[in-house]
Amino acid sequence: MNMTIRVAVIGAGLMGADHARIVAEDLPGATLAAICDRDTTRAATVAAPYGAEVASDPEAVIARADIDAVIVASPDVTHAPLSMACIAAGKKVMCEKPLSQSPAECLAVMRAEAAAGRHVMLGFMRRFDQAYVEMKAALDQGRLGRALMMHNFHRNVETPAADFTGAMAITNSAPHEFDVVRHVLGCDYTAISAFQPRRSDARVAPVMMVVETDQHQLVNIEINNNAAYGYDVRAELVGEAGSIAMTHVAYTRSDAALGSHAAYEADWRGRYREAYIRQNRAFLCFVTTGVFPAQASSAWDGYAAAIVAEAGAKALATGQRQPVQMIAKPELYA
Ligand SMILES: NC(=O)c1ccc[n+]([C@@H]2O[C@H](COP(=O)([O-])OP(=O)(O)OC[C@H]3O[C@@H](n4cnc5c(N)ncnc54)[C@H](O)[C@@H]3O)[C@@H](O)[C@H]2O)c1
């Protein structure tokens, strides 16, 4: 009997290459079987060190009898269709965020799961990051009293594209905060407001959001995609009896010339290295046991992130506070 789980990774870009390395090097019990990318040269580069197969047709890879599980790391628009192909093939899938930017498309994935059972785990890996794990534990253990507010900062060095907009900051970058805050607080969102200051140049300015929860908490989120100085994510959860804040994550600090220096990462990959590994180990557990990991993000959570993002983009465009209205939670995700 073949005891190893044969994993295919779809998409061999930045994230796909990282997932491939994790599967090959950090997931005992898994084998990196295939790398699939429309660009087979890229797939071959990622596959070569591990002797994995190279493929170019994602649907064909998903349907293969010798593939047990799939990681989708191709562009956003492919996530929902490829997740549905995995559900149809009876394969568990770890799909990168977002499930879709369209709440309607997320609902279509949920309908497919309602018929076939739980198959989709979403790549909102911050749920596995030790800082958020400790924040959630402090709240759940009653050490902070009732949660009142959560402050969040998400800063990148520069935008990935020159035509990046404030709306894209809300729909592409903020979903990480939308998901992990909802997870840590154990809340749902009821309304969102969004604002932008004005920069002195043509680059996209930061977006500031205030999100209201169904437990009368306030969440603020700064997305600054042109922060210039480094990749920097911060969060503080304020309760009635205390607060808990994320500290700067760095392995070293240099002291010299009467100063102290701690470096920033250039992007998210180093900062969340451990979280990606923990997330993918949870996925492997899901594949082998069939039990959806309690900590992980589901298709329902993907829908929740998409609907607040959609309302947030509308709030920014109109300058008006927007309600966030979700459907009732289906039994499958209870
Ligand atoms: N969880 C996180 O922290 C995080 C961080 C960055 C990106 N992401 C998500 O991961 C996904 C990939 O991002 P990336 O930065 O690696 O992008 P990328 O552009 O570097 O790589 C995408 C790859 O997918 C390939 N591709 C395109 N269409 C395909 C298809 N139909 N089938 C197979 N391959 C296809 C492209 O050729 C490319 O090699 C995006 O959806 C992004 O939102 C998640």
**Amino acid at site 253:** R
**Amino acid at site 102:** S
Domain boundary residue among 123, 141, 174? Answer: 123
Ligand 1 closest atom vs CA 15? 16
Q: In terms of residue numbers, what domain contains 9?
A: 5-123
- Mean pLDDT in residue range 216-236: 97
Per residue in 137-190, pLDDT tens?
A: 999 999 999 999 999 999 999 998 889 999 999 999 999 999 999 999 999 999
- Mean pLDDT in residue range 115-119: 96
Confidence check: pLDDT of 191 > 80: yes
Neighbours of 291 (CB within 10 A): 9
| Per-residue pLDDT band at 230 (split at 50, 70, 90) | very high
State if residue 266 touches ligand 1 by the CB under 6 angstroms criterion. Answer: no
Neighbours of 112 (CB within 10 A): 20
Together in a domain, 269 and 209: yes
Together in a domain, 112 and 225: no
Domain boundary residue among 99, 123, 147? Answer: 123
- Mean pLDDT in residue range 240-255: 96
Among residues 128, 175, 92, the alpha carbon closest in space to that of 295 is found at: 128
Neighbours of 1 (CB within 10 A): 2
- Any domain includes 104: yes
Q: Write the CATH number for 222.
A: 3.30.360.10
pLDDT at 238: 98
User: How much of the chain is in helix, strand and coil states, percent to nearest 5?
Assistant: 40, 25, 35
Together in a domain, 80 and 212: no
- For the chain, the C-alpha Rg in angstroms (whole number) is 20
Per residue in 257-270, pLDDT tens?
A: 999 999 999 999 99
Task: Mark 179-211 as b/e (b = at least 16 C-beta within 10 Å).
Answer: bbbbbbbebebbbbbbeeeeeeeeebbbbbbeb
Six-digit token pair at 92?
A: 């568990």
Together in a domain, 144 and 204: yes
pLDDT at 239: 98
| Per-residue pLDDT band at 2 (split at 50, 70, 90) | low
pLDDT at 160: 80
Per residue in 274-318, pLDDT tens?
A: 999 999 999 999 999 999 999 999 999 999 999 999 999 999 999
Confidence check: pLDDT of 124 > 90: yes
pLDDT at 235: 98
State if residue 16 touches ligand 1 by the CB under 6 angstroms criterion. Answer: yes
State if residue 173 touches ligand 1 by the CB under 6 angstroms criterion. Answer: no
Together in a domain, 219 and 77: no
pLDDT at 133: 98
The protein residue with its alpha carbon nearest to ligand 1, atom 6, reads: 15
Confidence check: pLDDT of 75 > 90: yes
Side-by-side strand order, sheet with 207-213: 243-245, 232-239, 147-155, 218-224, 207-213, 189-195, 322-323
Distance 210 CA to ligand 1 centre (A): 29
**Helix or strand or coil: residue 211?**
strand
